[in-house]
Amino acid sequence: MIRLHHCHQTRSMRSLWLLHELGVEFEVVCHAFDKSLRSPEYLALNPAGRVPALEIDGRVIWETGAITEYLCERFPGAGLGRAPGEAERVDWLIWVHFAETVSQHAAALTQQHVALYDDSMRSPVVTQLEARRLEKCYGAIEGRLQGREYLLEGGFSAADIGVGQALYMSRHFARIEPFGRLAEWYGRITGRPGLKASLPPEGAALLYRRDFFEPLEG
């Protein structure tokens, strides 16, 4: 039994997309993005009170990087991982975990634009700084995609899933269009059925209620 605990438009979407791409049977438990994640029942699954939490093989795994590594090793036939000893293993690890670098900036901006309930709590400096940091991340991805269709020479992998999902969040705060190779790659990977199956269903409560949030003016 594989069970993913998930909130729409959050990091857990990364694990959901990966499960769809692996083609394995699993179930999803959707949670509201609210204080219910701090309940004793949920904290028994993920003591940080966050998503995802993945129930598999008689235990619970949290942190998306760990989930990605475990699932790719558990289901190697899908070809989404790179095993120890393979030539692309180090690059695969770098880009799998670079997804969290992008996500930390997107999370800071999500807090500023979405989570804080009073305009006086929001910081123009933080929104401008974090948007610039996202653009630096975009530049790193743009450079990596020089002469490549995917992040690794060997083709589409869980690294593309992780970074692609991070961009799904971050593009609400920093536009990807000025980065040509990145924008083409993002369009390529988000056209996959696995990503489409991971999107919030019609009528679901959304975390991002706008397509784009401009940095605040100071």
Domain boundaries defined on the chain: 3-78, 89-192
Asked whether residue 218 carries a pLDDT value surpassing 80, the answer given is no
Per residue in 10-55, pLDDT (tens digit) is: 999 999 999 999 999 999 999 999 999 999 999 999 999 999 999 9
pLDDT of 117: 84
Q: What is the CATH number of domain 89-192?
A: 1.20.1050.10
Asked whether residue 141 carries a pLDDT value surpassing 80, the answer given is yes
Interior/surface letters 132-152, b for 16+ CB within 10 angstroms, e for the rest:
ebbbebbeebbebbeeeebbb
- The mean pLDDT value of the chain amounts to 97
The domain defined by 3-78 folds into Glutaredoxin (3.40.30)
Cβ neighbour number for residue 69 with a 10 Å cutoff = 18
Asked if domains 3-78 and 89-192 share a fold, the reply is no
Per residue in 104-121, pLDDT (tens digit) is: 999 999 999 999 988 889
> For the chain, where are the E strands, in sequence order?
3-6, 27-30, 53-56, 59-62
Q: Quick one: how far is CA 151 from the chain centroid?
A: 15
Cα-trace Rg, the chain: 17
pTM for the predicted model, two decimal places:
0.97
Angle at 101 between CA 135 and CA 80, to 5 degrees: 110
Per residue in 160-199, pLDDT (tens digit) is: 999 999 999 999 999 999 999 999 999 999 999 999 999 9
pLDDT of 44: 97
